Amino acid sequence: MKRFLYSSIALVVMLFAVINQAKACTNYLVTKGASVDGSTMVTYAADSHVLYGELYHWPAGTWPEGTMMDIYEWDTGKFLGQIAQAQETYNVVGNMNEFQVAIGETTYGGLKVLGKQDGAIMDYGSLIYVALQRSKTAREAIQVMTSLVAEYGYYSSGESFSIADKEEVWIMELIGKGQGQKGAVWVALRIPDGYVSGHANQARITTFPMKKNAISSDEMDKINDPEVECVYAADVVSFARDAGLYEGKDKDFSFSDTYAPVGFGGARFCEIRVWTMFNQVTDGMDAHWDYVKGDIEHPEAHKEGEPMTAENYASNRMPLWVKPTKKISVHDMMMFMRDHLEGTELDMSKDVGAGPFGVPYRWRPLTWKVDGVAYCNERATATQQTGFSFVSQSRNWLPDAIGGILWWGVDDASGSVYMPMYSSITKIPYNFEVGNGGMMKYSETSGFWIFNQVQNYAYTRYSVIHPEVAELQKQFEMGFIDFIPAVDQGALALYEQDKNKAVAYLTSYSNAVGADVFNTWKDFYQYLFVKYMDGNIKEDKEIPEGYKYVTPDLKQPGYSEAKYKLIIEETGDQFKVKGASH
């Protein structure tokens, strides 16, 4: 095989790290031993400026032999080709199926030379949703995804996947082989029970075991052995050697450092989001602060045109997983998704770009220049361009039809409401179903659009309006969490009689939740608009006896003292009131 040109790889990776922010996503992974109730959990934010937030659904089905399935690229809707349909497929709600298997992803891109494969059919989105239709466990999902890529080729760039079932949580990283070879190279690792992990648009698997408790793709018949904790493509190292990408021993090979070396963007825009979650659940993360700010250390600099060696790898990276000092709840997971780098020196609500109302957001582009010098905005976990996000919860003490909950919401997680959608439901709430509106088609009955209305209004005076959003959000979510045990018990009682009755009950409950949240949020927008329009804050009051009407209480708080001081520092006496007494 011809050796790939390795020059300018650092620049290519840096550009990919920036470009892929258009698809930037965040996943946090929690094993059952690390959770409060023994459930496994995965979060996912589908962050794209052009992704419309809607809740996907594929009903279970059986298919005649010879049936073909059309594959369309998830990002663009482009028809890619056909694959053989499975004889039986399972019910899928969003990114979770009826057997409590959940899959999330983040795009890391990786080496550009590996990012295109003519004739390939399977893109990363199709891998997720086809695997969910065909898998009863996380291990089955890994087998399905990797076999599809081997048979039909890989259409996308580098991806990290979170794959969970009711017992285990896995991280898998995969990248195509580029032109000339069909398929991909990949590694999948089981997160040790009691630990948590995360990924956010930067490949994170470095070295991995290749003998003890590990199998290659040539031994996939052993994947269900509970002792197996690592599965990898048989040629994951040899392909890199043959392509001129790596030189060294197998045991020293790092997947991430070879196929997607971390640069400033990979650390500052991506790894920092993993750090914020780790920093909230374990000690010692201060040691990695310089790294996630973009200060990457290497024992030896890589020379252009030469293969990577272990001495060229980044030496100050974060661990792939950490052991939390406290058990993590489903509400904790929701709050991790709402982080804006609060409590750090990079807190976006504190610098001048936050404006007078402490907005923890910066409008894109992510990087910009002044006098030819490049600068960046921060890329926090909570971001304005989210289409949808979720927290999956798989619970092994309940039947599969009841145990799986996809806590799902649309738009920016900071202003969204995570609604409990049981993964066995057979109908999606009308306000969030596919086809109700679109990215360029406004719909009065669309949850995506009403949440965007509220959140975009909150952006205008964040420090004043957002607290009201957060309070109503909390009321909903804590109410759902408190009520779920009762819903479970009701479903269990029905399940003992007839599984279909239990599923119908859960379908009715989840649909009622969706309708209630939508209707409340629509009224909420009207309330906020009336109260805060024109820079005022108005409070309604009762009409006293003898009055036809009464004007509301009015406040005009203006800006903070700090903001007024900044205005004076910049303008001097321009706005000074002449002759005014002190």
Residue 14 has pLDDT above 50, yes or no: no
State the average pLDDT over residues 169-194.
97
Token code pair at residue 472 = 């109503």
Domain count, the chain: 2
> Does a structural domain hold residue 562?
no
pLDDT at residue 58 in the model:
98
Question: Are residues 468 and 424 part of one domain?
Answer: yes
Question: Are residues 221 and 170 part of one domain?
Answer: yes
Please identify, among 342, 376, 410, the residue that sits at the C-terminal boundary of a domain.
Answer: 376
- Per DSSP, the three-state class of 99 is coil
- Per DSSP, the three-state class of 82 is strand
pLDDT at residue 509 in the model:
98
Q: At what angle do helices 124-134 and 138-152 cross, to 10 degrees?
A: 130
Residue 482 has pLDDT above 60, yes or no: yes
Q: What are 231-244's pLDDT values in tens digits?
A: 999 999 999 999 99
> Does a structural domain hold residue 544?
no
> Does a structural domain hold residue 423?
yes
* Cβ neighbours around 221 below 10 Å, total: 9
Least confident of 18-27, 302-311, 570-579: 18-27
pLDDT at residue 523 in the model:
98
> Does a structural domain hold residue 333?
yes
Question: Are residues 471 and 359 part of one domain?
Answer: no
Q: Residue 13's pLDDT band (boundaries 50, 70, 90)?
A: very low
Query: In angstroms, rounded to a whole number, what is the distance separating the alpha carbons of residues 269 and 20?
Result: 10
Range of the domain at 206: 9-376
Please identify, among 535, 554, 573, the residue that sits at the C-terminal boundary of a domain.
Answer: 535
Are the CB atoms for 469 and 415 separated by under 8 Å? yes
Least confident of 15-24, 180-189, 538-547: 15-24
Average pLDDT, the chain: 94
Residue 23 has pLDDT above 70, yes or no: no
Question: Are residues 219 and 80 part of one domain?
Answer: yes
pLDDT at residue 11 in the model:
37
pLDDT at residue 581 in the model:
57
Question: Are residues 207 and 83 part of one domain?
Answer: yes
Please identify, among 516, 535, 554, the residue that sits at the C-terminal boundary of a domain.
Answer: 535
CB within 8 A of 304, min separation 6: which ones? 6, 7, 8, 9
Question: Are residues 438 and 357 part of one domain?
Answer: no
Q: What are 241-282's pLDDT values in tens digits?
A: 999 999 999 999 999 999 999 999 999 999 999 999 999 999
> Does a structural domain hold residue 368?
yes
pLDDT at residue 580 in the model:
61
Question: Are residues 406 and 344 part of one domain?
Answer: no
> Does a structural domain hold residue 529?
yes
Least confident of 18-22, 58-62, 313-317: 18-22
Question: Are residues 454 and 342 part of one domain?
Answer: no
Q: What are 483-523's pLDDT values in tens digits?
A: 999 999 999 999 999 999 999 999 999 999 999 999 999 99
Query: In angstroms, rounded to a whole number, what is the distance separating the alpha carbons of residues 111 and 109?
Result: 7
State the average pLDDT over residues 304-311.
94
> Does a structural domain hold residue 542?
no
> Does a structural domain hold residue 390?
no
Q: What are 338-383's pLDDT values in tens digits?
A: 999 999 999 999 998 999 999 999 999 999 999 999 999 999 999 9
Q: Please give the full DSSP string across 281-311, using - where no structure is assigned.
A: HSS-GGGGHHHHTT----SSPPPTTS-B-GG
Q: Which of 355, 375, 374, 261 is nearest to 310 (CA)?
A: 261
Question: Are residues 229 and 157 part of one domain?
Answer: yes
Query: In angstroms, rounded to a whole number, what is the distance separating the alpha carbons of residues 53 and 389?
Result: 9
> What's this model's pTM, rounded to 2 decimal places?
0.94
Question: Are residues 269 and 326 part of one domain?
Answer: yes
Residue 18 has pLDDT above 80, yes or no: no
Question: Are residues 263 and 187 part of one domain?
Answer: yes
Question: Are residues 359 and 407 part of one domain?
Answer: no
